């Protein structure tokens, strides 16, 4: 998402955009998604700002890696963009513009038209995200039937085709199986297939390789990269894995305690991190010869913007 409080927006005759404000300088291309929002969660004890004015932009065909410790608000951002926040959570201010529309103000009907067709999400833990009582073919076909004017037979054929595309062997057999009959890697491929079924412009990938062994992780990463290049889609990659963002991302955004503390190109962030939290995050990755006990973050970060 791009800067909140944008002061100037001008569209040039060739369709590109010039955006200035908040000291971010110039964005050379129109962002696929832009904005800045505050997400609040209500508990009995009071209201918590789970995401506090996190602002970034994501351009067409770009992969943005969103990293940070557990609980910093990464998944909340993804669920907010999908408008799938829990009942006690809501977006209290700001906006999130996608293809010219503000996702935070759209009607439920309009959002259902966009969800899975233009924006899709690969959820954490495919076994939990897939419905255990429905066959794979039914769950995939539903996406096609909701967003395309086709028959159930054609939807099933498209389901077999997309399963084959994501590397699942014997897809004509797998459509008749239940999630528990598939391996972890195959279930993750099914989730990717569902996310890519309608060729969306934006895919939110929330920990797409969690709980997979190293070999399967490498296969999933290679698959996502090749499909992203083939389809020209943008990816918001939410992960703890710094190696993953270094491998896939064009840009990296670092979150801490619900706020964005540093953002830049992958090369800039990985080789010249500036924020103290980013430095500590990178130094927490164990190395072969690592013996140093990390010092606490300290008061320096308590009030960090």
| Burial of residue 34, with CB atoms counted within 10 A of its CB: 0-12 exposed, 13-18 middle, 19 or more buried | buried
| % of the chain residues with pLDDT over 90 | 46
How many Cβ atoms sit within 10 Å of the Cβ of residue 140?
25
pLDDT by residue (tens digit) across 211-270?
677 887 788 788 888 888 888 899 999 998 888 899 889 999 999 999 999 999 999 999
Place of tokens 């910093």: 72
DSSP state of 296: P
pLDDT by residue (tens digit) across 154-206?
999 999 999 998 889 999 999 999 999 999 889 989 999 999 899 999 999 99
Look at strands 101-102 and 89-98 and give their pairing. antiparallel
Using CA atoms, how far apart are residues 57 and 31, in angstroms rounded to an integer? 6
Nearest to 93 by CA among 132, 47, 38, 54: 38
pLDDT greater than 60 at residue 48: yes
Using CA atoms, how far apart are residues 154 and 144, in angstroms rounded to an integer? 9
Using CA atoms, how far apart are residues 84 and 7, in angstroms rounded to an integer? 30
pLDDT by residue (tens digit) across 74-96?
999 999 999 998 888 888 888 88
Nearest to 195 by CA among 156, 153, 166: 166
Report the chain's mean pLDDT, rounded to a whole number: 80
> What pairs with residue 234 in β-bridges?
202
Coil, helix or strand at residue 248: helix
Residues near 226 by Cβ (< 8 Å), separated by ≥ 6?
A: none
To the nearest 10 degrees (0 to 180), the angle between helices 184-196 and 152-165 is 120
Coil, helix or strand at residue 180: helix
Q: Which residue has the higher pLDDT, 291 or 99?
A: 99
Return the ∠ at Cα 96 (arms to 94 and 99), rounded to 5°. 150
Using CA atoms, how far apart are residues 236 and 204, in angstroms rounded to an integer? 5
pLDDT greater than 60 at residue 25: no
Helix (H) or strand (E) holding 114: helix 108-114
- Residues 208, 188: contact at Cβ < 8 Å? yes
Q: Which residue has the higher pLDDT, 67 or 285?
A: 67
pLDDT greater than 70 at residue 39: no
Nearest to 59 by CA among 2, 116, 114, 122: 2
The pLDDT, as a whole number, for residue 2 is 36
The pLDDT, as a whole number, for residue 127 is 76
> What pairs with residue 98 in β-bridges?
33, 101
The pLDDT, as a whole number, for residue 43 is 67
């Amino acid at each position: 998402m791009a800067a909140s409080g944008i002061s100037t927006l001008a569209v040039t005759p060739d369709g590109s955009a010039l955006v200035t404000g908040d000291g971010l300088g110039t964005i050379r291309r129109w962002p696929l998604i832009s904005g800045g929002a505050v997400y609040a969660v209500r508990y009995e004890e009071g209201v918590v700002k789970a995401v506090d004015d996190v602002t970034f932009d994501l351009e067409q065909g770009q992969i943005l890696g969103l990293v940070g410790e557990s609980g910093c608000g990464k998944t909340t951002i993804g669920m907010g963009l999908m408008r799938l926040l829990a009942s006690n959570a809501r977006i209290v201010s700001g906006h999130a513009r996608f293809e010219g529309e503000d996702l935070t103000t759209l009607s439920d009907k309009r959002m259902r038209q966009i969800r899975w067709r233009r924006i899709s999400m690969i959820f954490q833990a495919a076994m939990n995200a897939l419905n255990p009582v429905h066959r794979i073919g039914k769950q995939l076909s539903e996406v096609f039937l909701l967003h395309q004017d086709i028959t159930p037979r054609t939807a099933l054929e498209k389901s077999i085709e997309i399963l084959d595309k994501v590397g699942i062997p014997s897809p004509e057999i797998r459509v008749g199986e239940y999630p528990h009959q598939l391996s972890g890697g195959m279930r993750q491929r099914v989730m990717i297939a569902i996310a890519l079924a309608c060729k969306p412009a934006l895919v939110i990938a929330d920990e797409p390789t969690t709980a997979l062994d190293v070999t399967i992780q490498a296969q999933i990463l290679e698959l996502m990269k090749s499909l992203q290049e083939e389809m020209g889609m943008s990816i918001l990659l939410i992960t703890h894995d710094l190696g993953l963002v270094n491998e896939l991302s064009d840009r990296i955004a670092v979150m801490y305690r619900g706020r964005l503390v540093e953002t830049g190109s992958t090369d800039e962030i990985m080789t010249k991190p500036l924020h103290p939290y980013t430095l500590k995050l990178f130094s927490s990755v164990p190395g072969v010869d690592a013996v140093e006990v990390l010092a606490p973050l300290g008061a320096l970060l308590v009030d960090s913007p």
